[in-house]
């Protein structure tokens, strides 16, 4: 038989040397120091974050923001409460169970994000919930059922 060294392949263990073969990564510059009066979003004394800036609410690529989600849920609840008028002039039918579900989703969102919202986000969410709850009660008192019919 032929000796083992005459075979056509050779095994080389590079596990410990993989990082040595590559170039070192470029150094990432540290963030610029904050001015004395600026705290940004860094936690202050006690570990609580500072006031968030409005520009932090939108994503870095200009995509949807938190207020877009809140607005979508509020619009859905308004449509289910019959508060939205279609382009043909007709109002959407009342669907109280669906309106309640949309309002409940907003309540869950408010509870889960408590303390993590900007002042504007907190105000929009709170005020929107208040008005939707009042509209829900008004529709219930008016006696409209799930399909928009008088009960």
pLDDT over 50 at 7, yes or no: yes
Mean pLDDT of 125-143: 94
pLDDT tens, 75-123?
Answer: 999 999 999 988 888 888 999 999 999 999 999 999 999 999 999 999 9
Q: How many angstroms separate the CA atoms of 131 and 75, rounded?
A: 12
- Residues whose CB is less than 8 angstroms from the CB of residue 79 and which lie 6 or more positions away in sequence, other chains included: 92
- Pairwise pLDDT comparison (143 vs 146), residue with the higher score: 143
In the structure, what pLDDT confidence band is assigned to residue 47 with cuts at 50, 70 and 90? very low
- Residues whose CB is less than 8 angstroms from the CB of residue 41 and which lie 6 or more positions away in sequence, other chains included: 49, 50, 52, 53, 56
Q: How far is CA 101 from CA 24, 84, 120, in A?
A: 54, 17, 24
Radius of gyration of the chain (CA): 29
pLDDT at 15: 79
Considering only 11-20, 52-61, 72-81, 129-138, which range has the smallest mean pLDDT?
52-61
Task: Provide the angle, in degrees to the nearest 10, between the axes of the packed helices 96-112 and 119-142.
Answer: 160
Coil, helix or strand for 85? strand
- Pairwise pLDDT comparison (16 vs 43), residue with the higher score: 16
Mean pLDDT of 17-40: 58
Q: How many angstroms separate the CA atoms of 140 and 133, rounded?
A: 11
pLDDT over 80 at 124, yes or no: yes
pLDDT at 121: 94
pLDDT at 95: 94
Looking at every residue in the chain, the average pLDDT score rounds to 77
Domain locations in the chain?
55-144
Q: How many angstroms separate the CA atoms of 116 and 103, rounded?
A: 20
Q: How far is CA 42 from CA 4, 38, 115, in A?
A: 63, 10, 15
């Amino acid at each position: 038989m032929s000796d083992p060294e005459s075979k056509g392949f050779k095994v080389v263990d590079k596990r410990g040397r993989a990082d040595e073969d590559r170039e070192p990564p470029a150094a990432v510059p540290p963030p610029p120091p904050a001015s004395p009066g600026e705290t940004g979003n860094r936690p202050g004394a006690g570990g609580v974050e500072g006031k968030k800036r409005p520009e932090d609410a939108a994503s870095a690529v200009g995509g949807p923001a938190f207020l877009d989600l809140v607005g979508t849920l509020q619009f859905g609840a308004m449509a289910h409460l019959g508060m939205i008028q279609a382009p043909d002039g007709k109002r959407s039918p009342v669907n109280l169970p669906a309106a309640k579900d949309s309002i409940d989703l907003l309540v869950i969102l408010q509870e889960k994000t408590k303390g993590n919202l900007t002042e504007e986000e907190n105000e929009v969410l709170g005020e929107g919930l208040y008005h939707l709850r009042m509209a829900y009660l008004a529709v219930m008192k008016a006696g409209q059922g799930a399909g928009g019919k008088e009960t």
